Structure 1
Amino acid sequence: MSSQQQQSDTIATQELQEIVIQAPKVLRKSDMDVFYPSVSAIEHSKNGLQMLKNLMIPTLTVNEALSSVTSSGQSVQVRINGREASLDQVRNLLPETIKRVEWIDNPGLRYKGANAVLNFIVINPSAGGSLMTQAMPALNCSWGQYNAGLKLNNGRSQFGMSANFKLTNKVEMHREYHEVFTYPDGQTLTRTETPTRGYMDATFGGLQLDYSYIKPDTTVLWVAVHGYKAWPETSLYEGLLSLSNSPDAILLHDYNSKKGFTPSFQAYLEQHFGRGQLIAIDFNGSLYNGRTTHNYNERDAATENQLTDVNTRIRDCNQAYGIEANYIKNWKNSRLTAGVSYTANRNR
């Protein structure tokens, strides 16, 4: 007599929740598309740059790691409440303060020849504050991006402080090239460079203090003091250079270095009037003090005799000022912009 046992395995199943970001509401106008962020897009965004990515604007590419925004491979100008801004300032925006995003793919003269423009319309919370930090270090080399932003709100006013730091320390790099020169008599000369070693340093940081007053669609006032510090941005190329008309190889050394400090001041005022009219005034001024160094030399690989030795030292002291005023009149299907601008530079 035989008996047969049957055994059944029980597998517990669990349904995973899907993350769904609803498409934003889009309002098509004659000169722009206006995107209103959906609730899900706000909930799944930690900063303004992620919010922009979640808006899924056609042809727009947002790269958070490289801090770049492009449209069909071309750069995009970004603005906050009408004033020109940086991607670091966009990154420090709280998603819930972004009221709408204006996408202008055919900008006019007001935007200084930009290929496309993104204008973030934001509001200030009436109370409280926020602290945002972000760190993106590399694991296999001395490279990283670090950002922090503090904002304190009181009524329609906001006081802000932000800092950013970019580390690039002795990151390995090289160059190699092959070029042919043809003389008038038909003879040719071929130069070929084979790399031996090279590296790049590009460490810089910035600190900004700013104040803004925003009465939505009525008044925008923004002033900021910013300091930008570039530690020695250096690049070193060393290689072996061979010439088709000589059996002797040449040791090549090419070194570049640049460092400096740039304080700047910016102010922006936008006032709306009745019947779709507004006036926008933008002022900026900056001062740059820096030093640039370039060393280039060639030596005979066999004897190490000096063949070429060029050394350059440049000290810069540059000032730049600019003011622009625009009058804008909006109709239902058209817009008129009239403005004046003045720029001044003093370079030593």
Structure 2
Amino acid sequence: MILRYISTICFALIAFVVQAKSISGVVIDEHTKEALPGVNVTLVNDSAKVLLNTTTNGNGWFMLRDVKVNEAFVGLIYMGYESQKITVNINEGDLDLGEIKLSPKSTMLGEVVVSADKVIEKADKYVLIPTLAELNRASETLNLLSEMKVKMPGLQVNEALKRVSVDGGGVVFQVNGKEESLSKVQSLNQRDILRIEYRNTPDIRYADRGVSGVINFIMKPRQEGGTIMVELDESVTSLRSIATIAGTYYYKKSEWSINYGNTWQKNTKQYSDAQEQYIGRENIIYRNQIGQPSSMRDFSNNVSFGYTYMYDLNTMLAARLSFRAYDGNNRNYNIMEEIIGDAKSRYEKYNPNKSKSHSPTLDLYFRKNFSQTQSLELNAMGTISSGDYSREMHYKYDSGIDFNQINLTNNDSWAAALEALYSLKIGKVDTRYGVNYRRNHAENKYSENGAEFTPDHQTRNNLYFYGDLAGRWNKLGYTFSVGGKYFHNTGLSGSEHYLKFKALGTLNFKIDKHWSANYLYMYSPDMPPLSAMNDDVHTIDDISLQMGNLYIKPSTYQRHRLYVRYNTGNFYATAWGSYSRTDNSLNSVWYYDDDPSSKYYQMFINKTENGNYTDNISTQLDLSYQNLFNHLTLSASVGWDKYNVSDKAEYNSLNKVWASISANAYFGNWTIYANYSVAPRYSLDGRTFCRDIRFDYFGAKYRWKDFSFGARMVNAFTKRGFQQETETPSKVHPISKTFYIKDFANMVELNIVYRISFGKSYQRANRTLQNNGVDTGVNVKY
């Protein structure tokens, strides 16, 4: 009995001596002093045995609880930073290590890190950590991207047009992995951005949507409070206004958000010149269009409401309800000069067009992280679109003959989609497996000159399944993706169905400290839009018609791309080369109907057809220097494109050199910037060669507390302002057009941004909403 009491007392004393204690601290960046979330913190003993493990929260804070040893080592590991090992002695209660500073490192096993600029080159993307200077200099998110594009190969930003592109194509924006609109991205407080994950290759998940890259903004986590942002772009020399109001509020496990965007624009000096020929009749018809002052009014409203519920850090549900309304009105005036043989005539051409539509969308998303290596995402989307479109033609000849035509289209469409995505990490390889089903129905009623509406409806069913993997072997990063799509389209004239497969692969090789190379191969069958398969025959003018084609086949797109990147200090250089080919390309082809028995006898018909192929050879050199003299960032790009278009009856080609320069200068709270297109780039749309819109600008911004004030001049020292040129070669109807808006010449715009954040912080899981949009099947561009 006595021995039992003595044993009890001894064990109690031992327990008292080694009672459970805690170790805490805050981990920050040594240079920027920013907190580092997600740092891996471990407690190990002399034998290197891991006793406890945790990670820092959104504020960089951590706590190791239930520490039952007096002496040990605290290890800190964070991607892109030097690891740190701290000896601790906690004989006297809980231990607070205070601020622990981690230093960025220049190299790390299996990845490439540029410490001064904080660029981590992973197998499938670039991870960029904005410096404190970059965050402080930027007035908003687009401005931040414009500054950081020197580190993001292929990224192009035009702040005046609010346009972002990657490798010449579209972009999917995400916030914490959740897909968002550009207006939502603009509303972010750039100072809350922890890092940017940039992908300049198509994601197999979004391959169906034709995007070329993904930009994901990882934000500082929040707990209670919120953010408010108001931005206004107002032109003082023309009628153009863009406004955004956004707010987000966090409370416990819930997040509420609202985002409203409004664009209003009215032009009164809009012109369209054209030279065209119609070949097929006894005499060629020559028409010369002389643009007269015309007007255009655009008014669009976008509003979205979002709610996110975090059951815990591994389980969440998100919902978003959005609504878009558009009202457009164009009044185009032109003088036409026509020559048919020896006969010459002149007439006035008046084309008023109206478009009015609205579409609500509901998006639901669920995510569950089962462990650190696997997760499941479920997404459901539904949208409805309704619109009325009118296109009028009124020709008044000098001879007194008039031609009048009124085309009306009423549209009702809807789309619904379901998606499931399973992610699994196997060792050092990340894999994903997904399936997406989408049903799209479009019903259009078409009428000419008050006649009874002709109904047309189409239903498209898409089943898309895909999978990918990403990993690294020594210095070689790789991604391999495959997808399969079953496509079934049903219309009044019949139905078509196809089963096609997609493939995507990238290789990223780190040659040495300064050089790296990246290769991309893409194989992607593309389905035609519903508007191209519409059976309705639309009158274009007095001698031409436009029609769709239900039986056109999917085109097949293949691309090889290689770029080599060099970086030393703040200097960046990237050399690109690519070759792409589209077989069964979708082209707008002109025919002349010379069959006397046809109802369209002696008419020129524009119809969507499958061509043989289109080729594109492209080279490009990008040069950039950031923080020159600690005040200036310069970027320049020059390239050459060659396009070849082969149809069943003709072949055309185009060679063009293009170049652009941009600059940002910083002095205290002032930013001065400029973007100039030395020689605009050309692109190919079907069989039409299109010169990029010229929208050059220079301006200045001043930051004061929670405000940013800016002014810029767009298309300075020009007479035509906004200008676009197109050329469509054809043996039946060749045409070249020049469209320009003088209202945008020497345009002065003022910009005001007010942004404020309030409340505490906390940690949220990533999520994504990605199914959106409806194909209405409406084509009013004829």
Shift of residue 43 of structure 1?
2.5
Q: 1: CA distance between counterparts of 2:144 and 2:242?
A: 19
Q: 2: CA distance between counterparts of 1:223 and 1:32?
A: 28
Partner of 1:135: 232
Q: Which amino acid is 1:172 matched to?
A: K
State how many pairs are aligned: 323
- 1:86 maps to which of 181, 190, 196: 181
Partner of 1:291: 388
Shift of residue 176 of structure 1?
0.8
Q: 2: CA distance between counterparts of 1:216 and 1:51?
A: 32
Partner of 1:116: 213
Q: 2: CA distance between counterparts of 1:29 and 1:64?
A: 28
Partner of 2:190: 95
Change (3 A) 1:321 1:94: same
TM-score norm. by structure 1 comes to 0.84
Partner of 2:441: 346
- Asked whether the 8 Å contact 1:158–1:212 carries over to 2, the reply is yes
- 1:30 maps to which of 105, 116, 123: 123
Q: 2: CA distance between counterparts of 1:312 and 1:208?
A: 33
Partner of 1:235: 330
Question: Which structure is higher in RCO with an 8 Å CA cutoff and minimum separation 6?
Answer: 2
Q: 2: CA distance between counterparts of 1:83 and 1:98?
A: 14
- Asked whether the 8 Å contact 1:141–1:171 carries over to 2, the reply is no
Greater C-alpha Rg: 2
Partner of 1:44: 137
Shift of residue 213 of structure 1?
4.2
Percent identity for Structure 1 against Structure 2? 20
1:223 aligns with 2:319: yes
Change (3 A) 1:228 1:346: same
Partner of 2:297: 201
Q: Which amino acid is 2:144 matched to?
A: M
Shift of residue 248 of structure 1?
1.9
- 2:162 maps to which of 55, 60, 67: 67
Q: 1: CA distance between counterparts of 2:187 and 2:380?
A: 22
- Asked whether the 8 Å contact 2:320–2:362 carries over to 1, the reply is yes
Describe the SS at the equivalent of 1:53: helix
Q: 2: CA distance between counterparts of 1:85 and 1:193?
A: 42
1:190 aligns with 2:286: yes
1:176 aligns with 2:286: no
TM-score norm. by structure 2 comes to 0.39
Q: 2: CA distance between counterparts of 1:141 and 1:189?
A: 38
Change (3 A) 1:271 1:172: farther
Partner of 1:335: 430
Change (3 A) 1:80 1:91: same
Q: 2: CA distance between counterparts of 1:140 and 1:181?
A: 40
- Residues 154-187 of structure 1, C-alpha deviation per residue, up to 9 Å, x if partnerless? 23532111111001124421111111233377x5
Describe the SS at the equivalent of 1:167: strand
- Asked whether the 8 Å contact 1:124–1:158 carries over to 2, the reply is no
Q: Which amino acid is 1:253 matched to?
A: Y
- Asked whether the 8 Å contact 1:99–1:123 carries over to 2, the reply is yes
Q: 1: CA distance between counterparts of 2:116 and 2:395?
A: 59
- Asked whether the 8 Å contact 1:124–1:157 carries over to 2, the reply is no
Partner of 2:354: 257
Partner of 2:525: none
- 1:53 maps to which of 135, 141, 146: 146
1:159 aligns with 2:252: no
- Residues 290-317 of structure 1, C-alpha deviation per residue, up to 9 Å, x if partnerless? 21111012221242x21x3221122222
Change (3 A) 1:184 1:260: closer
Q: 1: CA distance between counterparts of 2:311 and 2:158?
A: 32
Change (3 A) 1:288 1:89: same
Describe the SS at the equivalent of 1:173: strand
Partner of 1:320: 415
- Asked whether the 8 Å contact 2:203–2:214 carries over to 1, the reply is no
| Unmatched 5+ stretches in structure 2 | 1-114, 444-782
Q: Which amino acid is 1:251 matched to?
A: E
Q: 2: CA distance between counterparts of 1:191 and 1:41?
A: 54
Change (3 A) 1:80 1:263: same
- Asked whether the 8 Å contact 1:203–1:230 carries over to 2, the reply is yes
Describe the SS at the equivalent of 1:313: strand
- Asked whether the 8 Å contact 1:123–1:214 carries over to 2, the reply is no
Q: 2: CA distance between counterparts of 1:119 and 1:332?
A: 24
Q: 2: CA distance between counterparts of 1:266 and 1:64?
A: 29
Root mean square deviation, CA, Å: 2.4
Partner of 1:12: none
Shift of residue 204 of structure 1?
0.6
Shift of residue 268 of structure 1?
2.5
Q: 2: CA distance between counterparts of 1:250 and 1:279?
A: 64
Describe the SS at the equivalent of 1:65: coil
